[in-house]
């Protein structure tokens, strides 16, 4: 792989604007090379393309035949020439500027442009790196304060006798340890291990240059073994109350308990928060170290290319300047990484280095050959079963039989539920594939733990498995002929759809570590947050899932039909009176409204938390959709001409508002003054026509509701239930298209703000911090 592609593949995508623009510098070097080729006086112009390496090697071979005296002389002259190519200066504000001393040479203006742009790129990288290192140092200081409070809390919780004795003696815990008056020394082994962490170099940091070794040892013991004073607990408040509906209601009612209770459960929650904070901080440090290394390598590569093209030797001087600069010489990040590793191992892994390093460096999920194999196997089986169903229908003329109408009204809605789920999963698997292809950082956006996110193969594997089970169940239940004696069907086959729903429910809630347990539980958690809206703080996975649910209205209605059909219907005779039930019709509306109502409540919660009026407008959009859904459902149930008129009017307004919001707000397109006309400034897909096609498709698929308002309930070749399923599939298809561009816009917003880390709330709030706030 060429370095340019490797450089791009290893970038932190949210920081891509802060990296050295390697491709543009290569373009400038190509301009220099083309100029020298066109210039007959240039020695490179006489060299055939691709023979540069051979020319250099021939020159070196010839120079090797000269005498030692001549070689030394030529080497001295070469060094003088090298020193005269460039001169790099550093100004007081930390910027570096290169003076090109050969600008008078033919084509020197091209090289002058190259060095000016090279300086701009280096200063950009240096400024960004300094700023990030400063942020890391500030965060390290904050973690130090948090750890002081945590260790004091450990002492208070695990050793209450020592605390009482310390308070009785009237002295602080720190002074007791330093002076050797420790009444409960035997209970403090763990605390000593915590405090004596990785201060291996503390002697060098504390000991003066002329201090004897013995004195330095005593000083190290005193300074190293210094438990924090318990007085710090008098100046902190706890911030580890789990966010639950009950805690949210208490906060609304102005009932908050932020004082420390010194319980073991409270200590456990604090330690868990600190553990997550250290893991996230460690990931930041590793990314920053990788950023530094990758840019240093890029500058080395580009300067070597410059030397190769121009036959000069300017790289040595420039790379020496880089090595002496803050980017090449600072070791704050490396030292912080070592300190974090040592601290984490001692504090949170009981000294087990292997376990601590595994927690700090979670491995990325590996692509397994078995996944690809079973994906191909199950996909092939699903296609074969689909062909079998088509052949059976055609061979037995099932669509023309007397029982076809009964089958479509009673059994087809049961199996259509699985069709909606499989289609949505296939589209989501396609979304993941294209997000990876265009380097959208979807694991970070969704907040997945590293190594736990599913790839497109895993998602497609699950969908193909569900498809195989569904198609096999359809074949087993594809019976349209009643028993002439009882006018009924076999009970076992009629219970197949219910058994399949039960099986999928058991797999979803299975507590064992099989079938991607972490992803299943993440999904269940997000669903629970959606159902409890607005009692939970809204995160992107929560409202993204709620948006998916708004496209699965027909699936929820199928679940309602399951309850009615198997609860109150006569499934043995394939008959039900669900559509004639007023209760069913009322819940038919409620079930359709629930997903939009969840999004409406989420918008209100975000308005309360963020004070952004855009969430109020978004809430009004969903409220208009709720009105439109109610009116359309009333029209579907044939409640009169008034419902038809109001359904058409409300649906038209909701469609216009929702389409505008999708394209302008969610996708960030239709920017009039953008450099990409009517799109946006940055695009991940180079073919701009894709965006315009997506805009048109989104607008057309938004009009699928017109099928019911215009009275197209049946097609010549499709019964009503099948046409309803087709319309529902079109909405799922629209959502699949929406998903890609919505996350693309979110990713570009993160890139624009250099947002590459998750913010982890810390467990303690200091009094001085609250005053500053």
Question: Among residues 336, 335, 322, which one has the least CA distance to residue 292?
Answer: 322
Section 687-707 average pLDDT? 92
Looking at residue 209, its pLDDT comes to: 41
Per-residue confidence (pLDDT) for residue 262, from 0 to 100: 73
Numbers of helices and strands, H then E, in the chain: 33, 4
127-135 long-range contacts, Cβ below 8 Å, gap at least 24? 127/94, 128/15, 128/18, 128/754, 129/288, 129/291, 129/292, 129/295, 129/326, 129/327, 130/94, 130/326, 132/288, 132/291, 133/288, 133/330, 133/332, 133/333
* Model pLDDT, residue 580: 86
Q: What is the pLDDT of residue 711?
A: 67
- Read off the pLDDT of residues 455-467 as tens digits, 9 standing for 90 and up: 999 999 999 999 9
What pLDDT, in 10s, does the model give residues 598-656? 999 999 999 998 999 999 999 999 999 999 999 998 888 888 888 889 989 999 999 99
Q: How many CB atoms lie within 10 A of CB 453?
A: 19
Of 102-116, 167-181, 577-591, the one with minimum mean pLDDT is 167-181
The C-alpha atoms of residue 728 and residue 420 are separated, in whole angstroms, by 8
Q: Please give the residue that has the higher pLDDT: either 337 or 483.
A: 337
Count of residues in the chain: 773
Arithmetic mean of pLDDT over the chain = 81
Q: pLDDT tens digit string along 355-368? A: 999 888 887 777 78
Residue 559 pLDDT > 70: yes
CB of 600 closer than 8 Å to CB of 619: yes
Q: How confident is the model at residue 157 (pLDDT cuts 50, 70, 90)?
A: confident
pLDDT over 70 (residue 171): no
Tell whether the model's pLDDT for residue 9 goes beyond 90.
no
Residue-wise pLDDT tens digits, 654-690: 999 999 999 999 999 999 888 898 999 999 999 999 9
pLDDT of 6 over the 90 cut: no
Band (pLDDT 50/70/90 cuts) for residue 250 is low
Q: Beta-carbon neighbour count of residue 378 at 10 Å?
A: 20
pLDDT tens, position by position, 183-219: 333 333 433 444 444 444 433 433 444 444 444 444 4
Q: Name the more confident of 435 and 92.
A: 435
Nearest CA-CA partner of 281 in 344, 237, 325, 230 = 344
Percent of the chain with pLDDT over 70: 79
pLDDT digits (tens, 9 = 90+) for 81-93: 445 677 777 776 6
Give 379 or 32, the one with higher predicted confidence: 379
Report the first-to-last Cα separation within the chain, whole angstroms.
Answer: 50
Lowest average pLDDT, out of 176-185, 292-301, 484-493, goes to 176-185
pLDDT score recorded for residue 719? 84
Are the CB atoms for 653 and 676 separated by under 8 Å? no
3-class SS of residue 138: helix
Q: For residue 589, is pLDDT > 50?
A: yes
CA nearest to 462, candidates 418, 496, 502: 418
Give residue 253's pLDDT: 64
Residue 120 burial (CB count, 10 A): 14
Pairing of strands 236-238, 86-90: unpaired
Segment 469-503, tens digit of pLDDT: 999 999 988 877 776 676 678 888 889 999 999 99
Distances in whole angstroms, Cα of residue 615 to Cα of each of 134, 329, 618, 741, 753: 34, 47, 5, 20, 21
Predicted pLDDT at 501:
95
pLDDT category, 267, cuts 50, 70, 90?
confident
As a whole number, mean pLDDT of residues 720-738 equals: 93
CA atoms within 13 A on the CB side of 413: 26
Q: Is the pLDDT of residue 557 over 90?
A: yes
Residue 341 to residue 334: CA distance in whole angstroms = 11
Mean pLDDT of 28-34: 88
Provide mean pLDDT across the span 299-307: 91
Residue 173 scores a pLDDT above 60: no
**Which of the four pLDDT bands, split at 50, 70 and 90, describes residue 179?**
very low
For residue 226, pLDDT over 70 is answered with no
- In this predicted structure, the answer to whether residue 97 has a pLDDT above a threshold of 50 is yes
Decide if pLDDT at 432 tops 90.
yes
The per-residue pLDDT for range 488-542, each reduced to its tens digit, is: 788 888 899 999 999 999 999 999 999 999 999 999 999 999 999 898 999 999 9
pLDDT at 127: 92
Specify the pTM.
Answer: 0.82
Q: Which two tokens stand for residue 689?
A: 């026509």
Q: Mean pLDDT throughout 278-285?
A: 92
Q: Which of 53-67, 330-344, 707-721 has the lowest mean pLDDT?
A: 53-67
Where do the H-state alpha helices sit in 159-226? 160-169, 173-178, 189-195, 202-206, 213-224
Collapse the DSSP code of 472 into the 3-class scheme (helix H, G, I; strand E, B; otherwise coil) and give the result.
Answer: helix
Residue 611 per-residue DSSP state: -
Q: How confident is the model at residue 139 (pLDDT cuts 50, 70, 90)?
A: very high
For residues 86 and 98, is the Cβ–Cβ distance under 8 A?
yes
């Amino acid at each position: 792989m060429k370095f340019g592609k490797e450089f791009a593949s290893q970038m932190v995508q949210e920081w891509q604007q802060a990296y050295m623009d390697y491709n543009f510098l290569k373009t400038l070097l190509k301009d220099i090379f083309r100029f020298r080729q066109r210039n007959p006086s240039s020695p490179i112009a006489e060299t055939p393309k691709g023979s540069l390496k051979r020319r250099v090697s021939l020159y070196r071979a010839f120079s090797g035949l000269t005498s030692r005296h001549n070689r030394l002389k030529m080497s001295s002259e070469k060094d003088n020439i090298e020193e005269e190519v460039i001169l790099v200066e550093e100004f007081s504000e930390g910027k570096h500027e290169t003076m090109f001393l050969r600008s008078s040479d033919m084509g020197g203006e091209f090289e002058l442009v190259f060095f000016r742009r090279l300086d701009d790129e280096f200063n950009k990288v240096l400024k960004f790196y300094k700023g990030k290192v400063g942020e890391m140092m500030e965060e390290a200081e904050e973690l130090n304060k948090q750890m002081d409070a945590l260790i004091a809390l450990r002492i208070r919780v695990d050793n209450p006798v020592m605390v009482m004795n310390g308070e009785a003696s009237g002295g602080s815990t720190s002074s007791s340890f330093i002076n050797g008056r420790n009444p409960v020394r035997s209970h403090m082994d763990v605390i000593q291990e915590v405090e004596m962490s990785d201060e291996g170099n503390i002697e060098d940091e504390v000991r003066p240059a002329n201090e004897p070794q013995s004195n330095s040892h005593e000083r190290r013991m005193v300074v190293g073994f210094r438990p924090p004073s318990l007085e710090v607990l008098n100046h902190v408040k706890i911030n580890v109350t789990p966010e639950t509906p009950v805690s949210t209601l208490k906060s609304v009612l102005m009932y908050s308990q932020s004082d420390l209770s010194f319980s073991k459960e409270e200590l456990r929650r604090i330690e868990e928060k600190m553990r997550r904070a250290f893991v996230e901080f460690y990931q930041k440090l590793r990314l920053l170290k990788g950023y530094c290394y990758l840019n240093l390598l890029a500058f080395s590569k580009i300067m070597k290319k410059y030397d190769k093209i121009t036959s000069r030797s300017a790289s040595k001087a420039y790379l020496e300047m880089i090595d002496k600069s803050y980017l090449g010489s600072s070791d704050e990040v490396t030292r912080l990484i070592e300190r974090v590793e040592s601290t984490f191992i001692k504090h949170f892994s009981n000294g087990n280095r292997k376990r601590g390093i595994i927690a700090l460096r979670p491995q990325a999920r590996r692509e397994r050959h078995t996944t690809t194999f079973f994906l191909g196997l199950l996909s092939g089986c699903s296609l074969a079963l689909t062909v079998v169903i088509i052949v059976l229908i055609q061979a037995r003329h099932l669509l023309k039989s007397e029982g076809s109408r009964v089958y479509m009204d009673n059994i087809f809605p049961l199996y259509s539920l699985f069709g909606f789920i499989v289609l949505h999963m296939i589209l989501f698997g396609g979304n993941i594939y294209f997000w990876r292809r265009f380097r959208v950082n979807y694991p970070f956006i969704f907040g997945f733990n590293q190594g736990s996110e599913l790839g497109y193969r895993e998602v497609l594997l699950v969908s193909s498995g569900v498809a195989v089970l569904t198609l096999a169940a359809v074949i087993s239940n594809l019976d349209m002929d009643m028993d002439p004696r009882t006018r009924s069907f076999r009970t076992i086959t009629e219970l197949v759809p219910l058994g399949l729903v039960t099986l999928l429910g058991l797999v979803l809630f299975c507590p064992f570590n099989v079938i991607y347990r972490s992803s299943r539980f993440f999904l269940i958690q997000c669903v629970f947050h959606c159902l409890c809206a607005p009692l939970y703080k809204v995160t992107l996975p929560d409202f993204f899932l709620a948006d998916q649910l708004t496209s699965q209205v027909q699936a929820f209605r199928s679940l309602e039909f399951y309850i009615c059909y198997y609860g109150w219907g006569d499934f043995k005779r394939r008959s039900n009176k669900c559509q004639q039930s007023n209760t069913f019709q009322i819940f038919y509306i409620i079930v359709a409204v629930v997903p939009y109502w969840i999004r409406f409540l989420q918008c209100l919660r975000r308005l309360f938390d963020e004070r952004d009026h855009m969430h109020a407008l978004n809430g009004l959009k969903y409220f208009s959709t709720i009105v439109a859904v109610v009116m359309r459902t009333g029209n579907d149930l044939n409640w009169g001409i008034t419902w038809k008129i109001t359904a058409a009017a409300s649906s038209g307004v909701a469609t216009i508002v929702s389409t505008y919001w999708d394209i302008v707000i969610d996708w960030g397109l239709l920017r009039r003054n953008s450099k990409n006309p009517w799109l946006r400034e940055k695009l991940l897909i180079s073919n701009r026509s894709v965006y315009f096609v997506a805009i048109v498709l989104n607008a057309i698929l938004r009009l699928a509701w017109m099928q019911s308002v215009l009275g197209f309930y049946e097609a010549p070749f499709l019964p009503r239930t099948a046409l309803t399923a087709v319309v529902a599939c079109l909405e799922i298809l629209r959502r699949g298209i929406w998903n890609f561009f919505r996350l693309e816009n979110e990713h570009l917003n993160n890139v624009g703000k250099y947002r590459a880390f998750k913010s982890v709330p810390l467990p303690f709030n200091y009094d001085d911090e609250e005053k500053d706030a």
